[in-house]
Structure 1
């Protein structure tokens, strides 16, 4: 998370905005205030101009859009990390490209009024830590404005369980991220979202013990010049919960004999029926003729059964490959007089 403060010459008029990693946030800047961002310049990939807006691109994918920023005659941005402060001076070169220089300050005034007759930049010159601090960083390199090759993000050691082996709906909650084909020498930041891409947080290559849920992943690749590119988003649905099995019954079975509910019958033709199972699940029907020692797959329609004892159950499998079994139903077929 990064914090942006809009500083006026009156502290009661100050305003603070928190921005999550990977989020794009638009902030309207009054020409009479100074925008202060709590971040080290090294974490900034670039600052560009879009109309009168300054767009600050961070290396982790976050974007801060300062609207009306260039309306001011002396547009500057104040940066700080702990007790260290920098002033970012934005200008345009001969080609019309936005250039940025960062100057480290000895101290910072309690309040800053951008409408003052003495702009912050004039104050900055006298507050420099030393001559060697001028142009600590120049974010706009006219020689390299090409975004780097982001490469391809994939999953390593992911068991894509379930009926479909490439849908990335799985009960595997431990796997790794893998990036290949990115620009050589670039730095990589891995991001994760658990709210369908609304917000992003930095993560690691190793994903471990994930809770059930939907996960989006992407990588932000930054080259030596500060240009950034993002990979395509990869989606994983982690589901380790067993599905609802439902209830297995015997349909169209005529329960002959003294008892009408003991399922000892002369009827050798009937159907299996399953109700209440998880929607979208796959069902396998099994039969055993050796009191449950072994099971074989069978069909819904039971026809011309020989005399004997039959056990039936259904195995329900969800999209992630989790399984549940119904209670066993027993039928005794006896047609012998």
Structure 2
């Protein structure tokens, strides 16, 4: 496995990563300890930078390229044996990557550092650096950077005399000071550790010398011997937030839960990102869904201290609404309101007063409300919502009829060898239970008469 270091440009924090697959959240400087002679190719693949080694190993850096095709991060090769560094420059016009010698990856965090001249691959080969650079996806326009300073890099040196704390989390204790300032952290037990501010104006302790919940004090001495600080670190938070969970991923919204107050970052397939914040109950949502039908994205939760959760995939977005032909009402009476739908979907009934009741379609495709939530004669509207949040249009229940049949109309006027018959309310169903518990049914005709022939009752018995 290749040794890889990832430093966020915004803060100078070293970002934790495992293995040869790196997923970037913010523009970063990535340094890989690889002998140049072992590199087979470096290429762009969509928003990824892919480095193939002659050993067969592959290093993949997700979100290296932005949605406009420009490289938003920097990739540096470190030859440990010689101590030299090479930066991979990307030209969007040709899709080619060219290695450029640099003094240190730290200069890529410094807005005042000018770009060094490009070194053609032919010169690399003459220098004994065996590598091939594969062309990736080309786009119009010039080089993604060209010979200009990294003016967009947030790691600008502090104003003279400034001494700041930037973050205190799982990625380290980080701040700003004049380059060359010696910074000392005093821990709760009185012990101290020191570091020196780099040319970028960033100082950092990584890993964080403070334990979760601890507080310390940082002070410094600048290059002229003048004291700066002290500053309190505040309470250390090195605990990552829980991974975000996903509740809906449909056309209406992408939503779920996370640590309250955490920032949810969604990385889209093109490498661009959108963010939202989990509310006080831990609920977050993007609406309408930024993902297209069938697309998947990656979610990361970042707590207020800057700790990141592990990435969580959204799964494919599904904008297909439930099959409305499966949504039916088969009972709306004194025994309840029920019907059919797609198993696992949610049934929402809006009552005449505007309130709603919900239930879930069971594995057999059946749903019911007992007792009936509708008033006698009232009509409701049914909406079916699938697990992705897609819904059908409203389906009416029809008027609820919870008045039992008029029992005075129910008579038996024949119970003999010719059959069993009588009167009832037209359209009603007559059910006769036999002595053995089985039943037979018939419908009262338009004249109010019903009949079952032959007689379902055995001679001498009652039903």
TM-score range, shorter chain: 0.3 to 0.5
User: TM-score under structure 1 normalisation?
Assistant: 0.37
Larger proportion of strand: 1
User: TM-score under structure 2 normalisation?
Assistant: 0.30
Larger radius of gyration: 2
Greater relative contact order: 1 or 2 (C-alpha under 8 angstroms, separation 6 or more)? 1
